[in-house]
Structure 1
Amino acid sequence: MKLLAHFSLFLGLLSITLKAQNTPAPIKLVDIILTANHSDWNYKLNEEATVKISVLRYGSAVENAEIEYQYGSEQLTPEKKGTLKLENGVGEINIGTMNNPGFRQLKVQAKIDGYVYKNEIKAAYAPFDIQPTVKLPKDFDVFWNKAKAENNKIPTDAQVTYKPELSTATVDIYLVRLQNYKLGHYFYGYLSKPKDNKKHPVLFNPPGAGVKKIVPFTSYAEKGFISFTTEIHGVNPEMNESDFQEMRKNLSDYWAINLNDKNNYYYKAVYLGCVRAIDFLTSLPEYDQKNVVVTGGSQGGALTIVTAGIDNRVNYISAFYPALSDNSGFLYNRAGGWPSMFSDKYQNNSPEKTSTMEYYDVVNFAKKIKIPGFYSAGYNDNTCPPTSTLAAFNSVTAPKEIVITPISAHWRFGETDDQSIKWLREKCGIQ
């Protein structure tokens, strides 16, 4: 028995040692640096954009490097492909221009010592003039008011379970189950409350895309909010792994479920679930009776805008690169939002499906927003293309501000997160 214990300890130490010896490099051995001739990557219509390309190893130019490149309108078939040999590791490409607001995209790659290195950049043309392609149905408000009224008849049936093992010295964590949409239909979330017995603003934090188990998130509570982080599929985070994987398999491409039926489309329950989350938060005795905040990114950014557009109890929002925005863009020969449902990849452009999406497109909820908002996006985002996210932002007529970090892809910098939280705290009067 002792020998077995010693052997197990040896294997554990060996595993730790091997991991330490094989720590992945935090930087690339070879960098491709793309530098637009406008530092903010913004251009006027009909103005040509040029990009300097530098291939560096150890910070120095790679002699006689050759790159492959392609460029054209964002997310569409490239207009031109070619190769370019870089003198002293540096070259330049003119990627053309646009006569309508939008984005042009340059992708490059170089093969160095058998390894392929890539980078890309997008030039923005009058990005704050981008207008959506999606139409607003005449009965949009009627449709959603009826849906909310029907949902109000469904009991919340809230089940709130304290989780001491997940709580911290300053934050209490609760697992919450809420009924929504129809009897027996539930979704889950983790509620985080500061341990100070005071009244606080409430914050709803809807999830990004995918089918996954949620985990507690205490950061918002540590900054003065009572926060509620949810999922949308009815995935209990404590369910066994085999059941979870089966559910995950059945919900692949969930965004396409009943897309031809506006009354039963998958996101109807999701959007009404956002309202149900606000019902729950505003029922808490610790709610300060004044401030309701929503914040999220990607699908969570979409649901942030949807919640503000559908529920007038919301006071402030912070939305990052919202998905599901201007989905019909691909039908008009330009990039549409995640999940690119009307692109050639999915062949979804039947009249029934495009009509359904008009009732669920984030752009049409953005038009309904009447409260202040903080927004953020990056130009190099290929998941939620900036053509689509700017179409949503430009549709907001309420007070708004946006932080653009052009180099960001489908992620954001910590500095931008800090700005968002500071903005929300100031709006809610948190000292």
Structure 2
Amino acid sequence: MNSLVLNAARLITIATLVHATSMTGALHAADEYSVTVTADHQDAIYEAGQQAAFLITVKHGDQPVSDGTVKYTIDDFTRGNQSAVFAEGELTLGKDPSRAVIRGDKAGFLRCQVTYQPDQGKAVNAIAGAAFSPAQIAPSLPVPDDFDEFWSDQKRQLAEIPINPKLTPVDSGDAAIESYDVQVPCWGGAPVSGYFAKPKSAAAKSLPAILWVHGAGVRSSILSNAVRGAQSGMLSMDINAHGLANGKPDDFYAQASSGPLKNYRSIGRQDRNTIYFRGMFLRLVRAIDFLAAQPEWNGREIVVIGHSQGGGQAIAAGGLDPRVTMIAAGVPAICDHSGVIAGRVNGWPKLVPMTDDGVPDPSGLEASRYVDAVNFASRCQAQAIMSVGFIDSVCPPSSCYAAYNALQGPKRILHEPLMGHAAPPHIQDAFFQSVLDHVKLSSVETP
């Protein structure tokens, strides 16, 4: 892969994630003890009803430990619910790996958490996951009957607001690239705020477009994303999630995070007209309006790419706007808000509050259905690439797969049995290479 692709692939920075944590099946303590857990299928994928075994080994330095015991628990991610513990116990170590065996009776994911306590020093832990018929994971609730009507009305109100972008030149650091701070009026409470870049002297109708969207948190748009996308031959725009001014001191964003945007994910969550993600998703459509209005846009490809909250936004953009031809959604959030209804753990941001009786709040549950990426996925015809971590406790794999299975266009998913909530370099490389392949293939096939 050439340096241009490598540089572009690095655009999906760990800073855009909710939590930049990657877990593997082997975690090492300072005293050099380590525990490794892996499934007995290399891909950790099984059919529902099939038996899976988690293979557990302990080492002290490079030497296997064959004396002592390990404790394990196998559950389905629904913490605090004892009935969700499928198996637990203590296994004796020996020359061969210890085996924690479980049968997955239905489509879903199970994780095995292992602890080894040496005679001296701290306990050592490891986690691994396994999937059971993940392609059969269905939406936890149907799409609301008036889902399309609601969003059509939202987009109609957005269209009544002139685009009228304000572009302020900024230094791209590359003499071949023009770049700008962009503010675009939007319906929904805040403008689109981002950085936009394009190759200088590009011909009219010659360039595809890419929109970079952010994970959870409060920060500026990222100029380097916009610039590097342009260096790869695209109209490239990076927008922050909240319509905030760009390039401000860190204190500006810290104050917004602890002030008006504190716990933004819960703002207005009792009503579909006030729920915070409504405005965030409308900003996606308005950003696409801006890109599609550029004279250099080739009229064909628009890609939306992001991780975590950005992954959920990418799916929403693909479902809301038919101009989107590809989405790249890493460990997507905002999926399966009603998962608890189907006995699954809800995805981030755990949007639906629970009542004192331990059931979903009816108003919050109903409102959440209008901003669930699973429902947008069912309207998305775009090409898609997605990643899923089998031990991701932030955006659980069942929530990601509920969205993936609903996608209507050509798609592929990158499975990571030992990954938590992360965007490691090989995922970033695969995503951006898929973007470049999509643009090249479509450009060749389209007259």
Tell me which interval the TM-score lies in, with the shorter structure as reference length: 0.7 to 0.9
**Which structure would you say has the larger RCO, counting Cα contacts within 8 Å and 6 or more residues apart?**
2
Deviation sequence 1:362-405 (CA, Å, 0-9, x none): 11111111222222222122211110110111111222222223
**Contact 1:296–1:319 (CA<8 Å) still a contact in 2?**
yes
Partner of 1:8: none
Partner of 1:108: 114
Structure 1 distance, partners of 2:238, 2:62, is 42
Partner of 2:7: none
Distance 1:156 1:407, change over 3 A: same
Partner of 1:168: 174
Deviation sequence 1:72-119 (CA, Å, 0-9, x none): 22334334443334235842211x222210011111122344233221
Distance 1:318 1:240, change over 3 A: closer
Structure 2 distance, partners of 1:410, 1:343, is 23
**Which entry has the higher C-alpha Rg, 1 or 2?**
1
Structure 2 distance, partners of 1:169, 1:31, is 50
- 1:372 aligns to 2:383 (yes or no): yes
Structure 1 distance, partners of 2:59, 2:175, is 48
Shift of 1:296: 1.2
Structure 1 counterpart of 2:48, which letter?
L
The TM-score with structure 1 as length reference comes to 0.86
Alignment partner of 2:411 out of 393, 400, 407 = 400
The TM-score with structure 2 as length reference comes to 0.83
Deviation sequence 1:13-52 (CA, Å, 0-9, x none): xxxxxxxxxxxxx976443211211111111222221111
Higher mean displacement: 166-175 or 140-149: 166-175
Partner of 1:147: 154
Partner of 2:19: none
Structure 1 counterpart of 2:328, which letter?
S
Distance 1:115 1:278, change over 3 A: same
- 1:190 aligns to 2:195 (yes or no): yes
Higher mean displacement: 381-390 or 329-338: 329-338
Structure 1 counterpart of 2:162, which letter?
P
Deviation sequence 1:320-372 (CA, Å, 0-9, x none): 22211111112332122112234769978211111111111111111111222
Alignment partner of 2:284 out of 271, 274, 277 = 274
Structure 2 distance, partners of 1:402, 1:174, is 34
Alignment of 1:259-338 (within 5 A): 259-338=269-348
- 1:46 aligns to 2:49 (yes or no): yes
Structure 2 distance, partners of 1:108, 1:300, is 32
Structure 2 distance, partners of 1:158, 1:350, is 40
Shift of 1:277: 0.5
Structure 2 distance, partners of 1:85, 1:174, is 62
Indicate the percent of aligned positions where both proteins have the same amino acid: 28
Shift of 1:194: 2.8
Distance 1:88 1:309, change over 3 A: same
Structure 2 distance, partners of 1:194, 1:111, is 58
Structure 1 counterpart of 2:198, which letter?
K
Structure 1 distance, partners of 2:359, 2:282, is 24
Aligned length: 403
**Contact 1:382–1:410 (CA<8 Å) still a contact in 2?**
yes
**Contact 1:309–1:367 (CA<8 Å) still a contact in 2?**
yes
Alignment of 1:63-212 (within 5 A): 63-76=66-79, 77=81, 78-88=85-95, 90-94=97-101, 96-112=102-118, 113-164=120-171, 166-181=172-187, 185-195=190-200, 197-198=202-203, 199-212=206-219
